[in-house]
Amino acid sequence: MIYRAWLDYNVAVVPGQTLTIEQFLAYSRRFGHIAPHPSKSTRHPEIPEITLLGINKFGADGTLNTAIYRRGAEGWHTDGAYDAEPFKATQLYALAIPSTGGDTFFSNMYAAYDALPERLKLRLDGVRGAFTYGGRRKSQALLNEEDRDWVPVFHPIIRTHNETGRRALYFDPGKILFIEGAEAGESDALIEELTSTMIQPEAEYRHKWRVGDIVIWDNRCSVHKAAGDYPPHEDRIHWRVSIKDNAAVARAAAE
């Protein structure tokens, strides 16, 4: 039931939960395989599948670590586009929520595809983009030094969702390097045009968190960003899991 609604709506919210980590992991596995996130420094110290959001926000000298405070707030993105098999879903469970701010925004990429001018639909059909962690800006502050060397991976910019069969725009301004087969000027122009047109205001959802909320989103057909605007001295803490497609993980293991 939840799974079907989630496929239809991209984002599913289950409010009012009181879960242990084991329960959260067990529930998350209904959606697929939980893969540890490449940011090792923000993983739970004992359970690598769990990423902790909003923990260790202040350094030893008391300064705010903006990479942690503003994680996910640097722009619209889809999680894991730097991976050959990107995360199908991301799921967050809210443990502490500030008195004001700290919302998460979502936007539908089926709607973004539908709204593309015919010229772009034709130009991008069958065309792939090159993606890395940090993209052209090389924003890699959450990665350990030894984990910052990324080989670009390629994904179709117009993606047919493997479960719904619908076409979506698959694009991430902060992770894309270039559009395959386009000369540099055109590639930059396409990236700029997609960046400025990908968000359809009527296809947005803004989640206002409450403690106990579980929110899962589909990275294959939506983008999201954190507001990054809450009072830094207040807590905003989530458990987070990155979820891959079971069949894809089994295929990769067999290779």
Ligand X SMILES: O=C(O)CCC(=O)C(=O)O
Total binding residues for Fe ion by CB under 5 A? 2
How many angstroms separate the CA atoms of 167 and 197, rounded? 17
Among 72, 86, 134, 135, binds ligand X (CB under 6 A): 72
> Residue 10 binds which one of Fe ion, ligand X, none, with CB within 5 to 8 A depending on kind?
none
The rounded Cα 208 to chain-centroid distance in angstroms is 18
Interface with ligand X, residue 49, by CB under 6 A = no
| Residue 185 CB, nearest approach to Fe ion (Å) | 30
Exactly one of 203, 226, 241, 243 binds ligand X (CB under 6 A); which one? 226
SS3 assignment, position 197: helix
Of the residues 90, 107, 140, 187, which one makes contact with ligand X according to CB under 6 A: 90
Q: Which does 240 bind (CB under 5 to 8 A by kind): Fe ion, ligand X, none?
A: ligand X
In the chain, the N- to C-terminal Cα span, in Å, equals 33
DSSP letters along 153-186, please? EEEESEEE-TTT--EEE---TTTEEEETTS-HHH
Q: Does 173 bind Fe ion (CB under 5 A)?
A: no
Closer residue to ligand X in complex, CB, 71/167: 71
* Residue placing its CB nearer to ligand X in the complex, 104 or 187: 104
Q: Counting contacts by CB under 6 A, is residue 244 touching ligand X?
A: no
One residue of 34, 54, 57, 79 binding Fe ion per CB under 5 A: 79
191 binds ligand X (CB under 6 A): no
Cβ proximity to ligand X: between 33 and 71 the closer is 71
Question: What residue 104 binds from Fe ion, ligand X, none (CB within 5 to 8 A, per partner kind)?
Answer: ligand X
Are the beta carbons of 172 and 133 closer than 8 angstroms? no
Q: Are strands 153-156 and 237-244 parallel, antiparallel or unpaired?
A: unpaired
**Nearest residue to ligand X, using CB?**
72
In whole angstroms, give the CA distance from residue 199 to residue 188. 18
Q: Assess contact for 166 and 112: CB atoms under 8 A.
A: no
Beta-sheet pairing, 11-14 with 214-218: antiparallel
The answer for residues whose C-beta is within 8 angstroms of residue 70's C-beta and 6 or more apart is 226, 228
Cα-trace Rg, the chain: 18
Contact 151, 178 (CB under 8 A): no
96-115 residues in contact with ligand X (CB under 6 A) are 104
> Is 72 among the residues that bind Fe ion (CB under 5 A)?
yes
User: Quick one: what does residue 71 bind among ligand X, Fe ion, none, with the CB cut-off 5 to 8 Å set by partner type?
Assistant: ligand X
**Positions in the binding site for Fe ion (CB under 5 A):** 72, 79
Contacts to ligand X by CB under 6 A: 53, 71-72, 79, 90, 92, 104, 224, 226, 240
